[in-house]
Chains A and B, each alone.
Chain A
Amino acid sequence: MTVLVTGSNGFLGSALVERLAIHGIQGIRCFVREGSDRGRLEALKKKYPDAGIEYYVGTLISRESPVRAVQGVDTIYHLAASLGGAPADMFLNTVVTTKYLMEAVISENPDVKIIHISSFSVYGVADLPAGATITEQTPLEKHPEKRDPYAFVKWHQEKLLLDYQEQHGFPLVILRPGVIYGPHGGAISGRVGLQLGGIFLHLGGNNILPLSYVDNCAEAIVLCATQKSAGVSVFNVHDDNLPTSREYLGIYKRQVKKICSIPVPYFALQFISRAVERYHHYSKGQLPAIFTPYKTANLWKGNRFDNAKLKSTGWTPIVSTAEGIQNTFDYFKENS
């Protein structure tokens, strides 16, 4: 069995390559860009010599480059996406690249199974009541243009794949992880709060953090990919025993470093968001509308999460949340 992994040298990508190797996949084709950092993949090549880890060097911002990459593979794990930068560039590097990948798939390998890594951010939860549980049946966002650029591009990326699937009928598995974290990952999630100068605005309060430890997430991807199903399958991905944002920040302060934080309750955040949005319009965009009531309701209204469908595949966390946080904060402390 040969598989293709896009975004293979990223934070989740390299963890996925390792899980694939552990599961005995032989023939892991890693799509990497010219000149990209392959340090972690090189280490995996040495650690798992039988996994057949190989590089396909190219770019997804090209119609030609993915053509040979998709030939002869049984499964494509599509992780490549832009996490930051200018909105147009994020769109180009996430949605347009997905289009070019799918054009290659339809032309060269139309029956291949696609495993797409989406995001919780595609759900439209602003209109749901506080405390509503997000499941795979939760409606998708109706106004992605009102959300942050990441949510906007991930929504369009998933819609594009669903449109292709509807037209061509290949098996499509969509995983929607919450906050992927772990050693080598980014710092504190925006769901917890925002660093403003020397002060950390703690926005999450009692919101539950939908954490997904990077190895648990990678394991979920491998297991969901092996499910026998035609059409589209969707799985939410997060761990068990999830902490609240406040608990997470408390552990961070105790174990990594002391930071000056100001808790901002939801009602106050909504008030601030309205003021920021009004000022953004009044000043004709002199300051960006980083907070709007709509964005705030989507992130901090107090949702609950459900991973029952993921568990029905036989998935259980290989690293507990307590251990995952410990590993992550140990890494942060060593590298701060």
Chain B
Amino acid sequence: MINKLKTAIVGCGQIADGHISEIQKLDCAEIVGVCDLEILMAEQAATRFGISRYYDKFGEMLEKENPDVVHITTPPQSHLSLASAAIDAGCHVYVEKPFTPTYDETVKLIEHAEEKNRKLTIGHIYFFDPPALALREMVSRGTMGEPVHVESFYGYNLAGPFGKAIMSNSTHWVHNLPGKLFQNNIDHLLNKIIEFVDDEQPLIKVFGKVQRTSRLGDIRDEMPDELRVMIQGSSTSAYATFSSHIKPTAHFMRLYGTKNIAHADFVARTLTLEQEPTLPSAIGRLLPAFNMGKQYKREGWKNVRRFLRSDFHFFAGMHNLVSRFYDSILLDTPPPISHRDIRRIGWMMDEIFRQLEEQVKKS
């Protein structure tokens, strides 16, 4: 059995920094090489993180380093070909979201990994963020009852580091994705929903628009920045909001169960519960505010304790995902995110972008 995984990274942009930092925290893995088409980008990542070897040819890195795992952090248009090459070289693969630009490519990649018996995962980091893990535990304890409805909200800051990179460059790869900005982000919306909407292909209704008023006179003007998605499964429904304009830039989900309503806040890292009042009349209206205050206080102190234990990192979800993925390789257990879920999200994204395109044509 392998004790220490040899890991390699392809694509040395912003998100690669997060991957490298999280991998370097693990005792079970060592980064043996980084690669980027632009050798200077590979060199800067290697220099900053103390990685001894860097490449501008992926094939050469695979051949020389013979890694056990490859993290693909390139633009999604290259995911299928790079991941397939890594799988053919015998590597397990972590693919950054969005998995591929289309559902068809997603299916191809999954089938290829299954055929070659290699592990595959997708960068759904918030699926393993502390509030998501806490909510999952709450659901498994039966606190929520049966799920009835899910609400997922993902705010996006166009003036933030990622947003600026997209808005300042009309040739940025995001503008060439079928779903543009949405496609690069709504994995974070949808993976919270598919956990509770179990249908292969639920009913979906989509509304999207460009809310920005400033016009740049190029392809960037066509990039929608507000999205609403209604989803109806056989037993559970969902509503998803992606917004680039609502402030503060929030990120939360609400799970509506037959017993309680849970609110998982991914910015404040809190999980709170709204419950039926236990006392009658006006008194029943007095107590919930105190109850919520008590819950937030408890969650706040929980976070402080985590911080003091050095367990409150920015990329906690990525750390948990990478750690679980590597465990699945070392122990030969199923990967942390099922291939079925990766496929279902791929299908939902295709359907959302198909409807958006139809709306654009009609308008």
What's the tally of chain A residues with a CB closer than 8 Å to chain B? 26
Question: Are B41 and A285 interface neighbours, CB within 8 A?
Answer: no
Q: Are B40 and A61 in contact (CB under 8 A)?
A: no
In the complex where A35-B220, A284-B310, A286-B307 touch, is A88 in contact with B171 (Cβ < 8 A)? Answer: no
B312 contacts the other chain (CB 8 A): yes
Tell me whether B44 and A89 are in contact (CB under 8 A): no
A89 in contact with B161 given A34-B170, A285-B313 (CB within 8 Å)? yes
In the complex, B169 has a CB within 8 A of chain A: yes
* Contact status of A92 and B41, CB under 8 A, knowing A86-B17, A145-B48, A286-B310: yes
Contact yes or no, B217 A35, CB < 8 A: yes
**B16 lies within 8 A of A283 (CB):** no
A59 within 8 A of B: yes
Q: What's the least CB distance linking B326 to chain A, in Å? A: 16
Per a CB cutoff under 8 Å, which of B161, B218, B310 touches A34?
B218
List the A side residues contacting B169 at CB < 8 Å. Answer: 33, 59, 61
Contact among B14, B25, B216 with A89 in the assembled complex (CB-CB below 8 Å): B14
Say whether A156 faces chain B, with CB atoms less than 8 Å apart: yes
A72 to B44, CA, bound (A): 33
Residue of A62, A88, A284, A285 most packed against chain B (CB within 10 A): A88
Q: Interface readout for A75-95 with B: 1 if CB under 8 Å, 0 if not?
A: 000000000011111011001
Q: Is the CB of A99 within 8 A of B40?
A: yes
| Any A CB within 8 A of the CB of B12 | yes
A284 vs B183: C-alpha distance in the bound complex, in angstroms?
32
Bound state CA distance, A89 and B165, in angstroms? 8
Interface bits B15-52 vs A (CB < 8 Å: 1, else 0): 01100010001000000000000101100110110000
In the complex, A149 Cα to B156 Cα: how many Å? 25
Q: A34-B218, A35-B217 are in contact. Are A95 and B13 (CB under 8 A)?
A: no
Q: Are A88 and B170 neighbours in the complex by a CB distance under 8 Å?
A: no
Question: Which A residue sits closest to B25, measured CB to CB?
Answer: A284
Cβ–Cβ contact B218 & A285, under 8 A: no
A96 close to B (CB within 8 Å): yes
Shortest Cβ gap from A60 to chain B (Å): 10
B220 contacts across to A, CB distance below 8 A: 34-35
**How long is the Cα–Cα vector from A99 to B40 in the complex, in angstroms?**
9
A321, chain B: closest CB distance, angstroms: 33
Which residues in B have their C-beta under 8 angstroms from that of A92?
A: 13, 38, 41
User: In the complex, what residue of chain B is closest to A59 when comparing beta carbons?
Assistant: B169
A282-B169 Cα distance, complex, nearest whole Å: 38
Task: For A33, list chain B residues within 8 Å (CB).
Answer: 168-169
Contacts of B167 in A (CB 8 A): 35
Task: Give 21 A-B contacts (CB < 8 Å), ordered by A residue.
Answer: A35-B167, A35-B170, A35-B216, A35-B220, A59-B170, A86-B14, A86-B161, A88-B12, A88-B41, A89-B165, A91-B40, A91-B44, A95-B44, A96-B38, A96-B41, A99-B40, A152-B44, A156-B44, A284-B313, A286-B310, A286-B312
Other contacts beyond A86-B14, A88-B41, A92-B13: 18, CB < 8 A:
A34-B218, A35-B167, A35-B168, A35-B170, A36-B168, A61-B171, A62-B171, A85-B165, A88-B16, A88-B17, A89-B13, A89-B161, A152-B48, A156-B40, A156-B44, A282-B310, A285-B21, A286-B307
